[in-house]
Copies of this chain bind each other. A is one copy, B any other.
Amino acid sequence: MTLQPLPNLRDVFKAQKHVYRYLKPTPLYHYAGLSRLVGAEVWVKHENHQPAGAFKIRGGVNLAATLSDEQQKAGLLTASTGNHGQSIAYAGQLKGVPVTIAMPEGANPGKVAAIRSFGAEVVFAGQDFDEAREWAAERARQTGALFVGPADFPLIAGVATYALEILQDLPDVDTIIVPVGGGSGASGVCTVAKTINPAIEVIAAQSAQAPAAQLSWKAGVPVEAKMRTFAEGVATRVPFELPQRILRQHLDDFALVDDEDIKAAIVLHLEHTRNLVEGAGAVSLAAALQLKGQLAGKKVALVVSGGNLALEKLKLLL
Contact = CB atoms under 8 A, between A and B. Distances in A.
Interface of A: 24-25, 27, 29-30, 32-33, 46, 48-49, 51, 53, 110, 113-114, 117-118, 267, 270-271, 274-276, 307-309, 311, 314-315, 318
A274 B307 contact: yes
A82 to B, nearest CB: 11
A32 B274 contact: no
A276 B110 CA distance: 15
A308 B51 CA distance: 20
A33 B270 contact: no
A51 B29 contact: yes
A51 B309 CA distance: 21
Contacts of A276: 270, 274-276
Contact of A49 (B33, B46, B117, B267): B46
Given A27-B49, A30-B51, A274-B308, 14 more contacts: A29-B51, A32-B118, A33-B113, A33-B114, A33-B117, A53-B274, A110-B271, A270-B311, A270-B314, A275-B276, A275-B307, A276-B276, A314-B318, A318-B318
A79 to B, nearest CB: 22
Contacts of A311: 267, 270-271, 318
